[in-house]
């Protein structure tokens, strides 16, 4: 069946003075290092229509996703439920949600919805008959598991092996670099979609606005002739650019350059095809239980608790968190799968741990599953159930980590079933 593909991007750089997000404390953007973008891709054939929107932001709220989808359906005559909206998890961008003591910017969010719909509409208009290449490779040198188990049985997030109490890393990384590239029938590059797993935290702790390494990756891909390069973040809950073993931290420039070089190498080795036997999407909403926190968890004194930046920020936010849990009881979360040939792009609306993400990849076979974290909403950190036994930053009770240990398996069970059923 004849394929069509279209790509587009729109600048979403916030104005100076906008609140910044990703470091718990209140920060204000006072300089622009590089621009932020909303990038859109549309892939369709007579078999179905699907789309992606990738944002250079920390996260995307469910209400924002819903507004984008509703307008795409109404204004662009495209099935909004077949669109996956994800964030790169960039820590150098505007306050698209309230995290710690940085309140979300409502005006920016309204503008963001407008620009996402604009980008998606431009991608539809740019859609032409196309060939696609879908290939994967592996990169082991730019992402690292940041959780270090110590001899007293707790985890230190961003621990190092200069500490004699350090024992080993808690878990793996996800080294897969998964690429989808599209060209027009006359060979003109249209765009590329790369899925990779690692936190982008560079320049997060000051007033600088930056897209981080996903922005560098995009610039490097453009130099290689790919005009619209999307980055779909993976299950990067505990995956970072700092290597606990060597103490080396990969710069955003090196990170982006290596990933773009990997992507181009994969594209060069992968045949382009004019048809996919399957294009479609499906979703499922699950109900995730909140954690029933002990007094020690509430006070941050539980063994293994690790509060970053300023412990007082956690204390000040605790009454609001406890009231949320008391009144809401459960947290809804959407799991979506977009099917393209043998691939299934699976959205998880969380800072999902790599282990549960790898479980989905393994158990969803024969589909080639790929995890898109920070997509279609945000419920905070979702560590593996086992991680709660050792603590660490990601499991420490806070607004950013409020769900019960069983949440990871609820999400992965739903994702695996969704992919295997294909609905």
Q: Write down the pLDDT at residue 423.
A: 55
Buried b (16+ CB within 10 A) or exposed e, 171-197: bebbebbbbbbbbeeeeebbbbbbbbb
- Per-residue pLDDT tens over the stretch 10-56: 999 999 999 999 899 999 999 999 999 999 999 999 999 999 999 99
Over pLDDT 90: what percentage of the chain?
A: 97
Mean pLDDT of 254-270: 98
Contact 327, 379 (CB under 8 A): no
**pLDDT higher than threshold 90 for residue 323:** yes
- Per-residue pLDDT tens over the stretch 88-129: 999 999 999 998 888 999 999 999 999 999 999 999 999 999
Mean pLDDT of 363-385: 97
- Per-residue pLDDT tens over the stretch 123-163: 999 999 999 999 999 999 999 999 999 999 999 999 999 99
Q: Write down the pLDDT at residue 354.
A: 98
Q: Write down the pLDDT at residue 67.
A: 98
Centre a 10 Å sphere on the Cβ of residue 65 and count the other Cβ atoms it contains.
Answer: 26
**pLDDT higher than threshold 70 for residue 377:** yes
Report the alpha-carbon angle 172-348-94, nearest 5.
100
Nearest to 92 by CA among 4, 163, 32: 32
> What counts of helices (H) and strands (E) characterise the chain?
8, 23
pLDDT band at residue 382 using 50, 70 and 90 as cut-offs = very high
Mean pLDDT of 182-191: 98
pTM given for the model: 0.97
How does the average pLDDT of the chain come out, rounded?
97
What's the CA gap between 176 and 193, in Å, rounded? 13
Sequence-separated (6 or more) residues with CB below 8 Å from residue 332: 285, 286, 287, 288
């Amino acid at each position: 069946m004849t394929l069509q593909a279209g790509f587009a991007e729109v600048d979403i750089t916030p104005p100076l003075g906008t609140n910044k997000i990703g470091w718990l404390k209140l920060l204000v953007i006072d300089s622009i290092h590089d621009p932020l973008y909303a990038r859109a891709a549309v892939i369709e054939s007579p078999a179905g229509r699907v789309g992606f929107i990738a944002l250079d932001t920390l996260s995307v709220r469910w209400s924002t996703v819903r507004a984008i989808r509703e307008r795409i359906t109404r204004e662009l005559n495209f099935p909004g439920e077949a669109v996956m909206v994800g964030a790169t998890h960039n820590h150098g961008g505007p306050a698209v949600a309230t995290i710690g003591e940085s309140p979300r910017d409502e005006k920016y969010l309204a503008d963001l919805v407008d620009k996402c719909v604009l980008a998606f509409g431009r991608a539809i208009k740019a859609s032409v008959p196309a060939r696609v290449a879908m290939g994967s490779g592996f990169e082991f040198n730019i992402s690292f598991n940041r959780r270090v188990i110590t001899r007293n049985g707790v985890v230190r997030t961003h621990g190092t092996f200069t500490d004699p109490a350090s024992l080993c890393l808690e878990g793996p990384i996800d080294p897969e670099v998964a690429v989808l590239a599209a060209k027009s029938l006359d060979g003109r590059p249209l765009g590329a979609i790369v899925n990779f797993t690692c936190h982008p935290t560079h320049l997060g702790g000051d007033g600088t606005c930056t897209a981080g390494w996903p922005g560098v990756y995009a610039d490097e891909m453009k130099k290689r002739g790919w005009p619209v390069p999307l980055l779909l973040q993976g299950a990067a809950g505990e995956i970072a650019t700092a290597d606990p073993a060597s103490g080396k931290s990969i710069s955003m420039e090196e990170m982006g350059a290596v990933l773009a070089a990997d992507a181009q190498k994969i594209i060069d080795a992968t045949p382009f095809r004019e048809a996919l036997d399957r294009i479609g999407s499906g979703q499922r909403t699950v109900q995730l239980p909140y954690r029933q926190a002990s007094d020690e968890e509430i006070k941050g004194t539980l063994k293994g608790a690790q509060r970053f930046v300023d412990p007082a920020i956690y204390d000040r936010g605790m009454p609001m968190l406890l009231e949320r849990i008391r009144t809401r009881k459960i947290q809804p979360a959407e799991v979506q799968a977009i099917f393209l040939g043998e691939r299934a792009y699976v959205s998880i609306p969380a800072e999902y741990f790599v282990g549960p993400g790898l479980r989905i990849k393994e158990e969803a076979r024969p589909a080639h599953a790929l995890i898109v974290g920070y997509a279609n909403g945000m419920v905070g950190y979702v560590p593996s159930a086992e991680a709660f036994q050792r603590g660490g930053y990601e499991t420490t009770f806070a607004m950013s980590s409020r769900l019960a240990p069983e949440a990871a398996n609820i999400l992965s069970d739903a994702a695996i079933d969704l992919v295997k059923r294909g609905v």
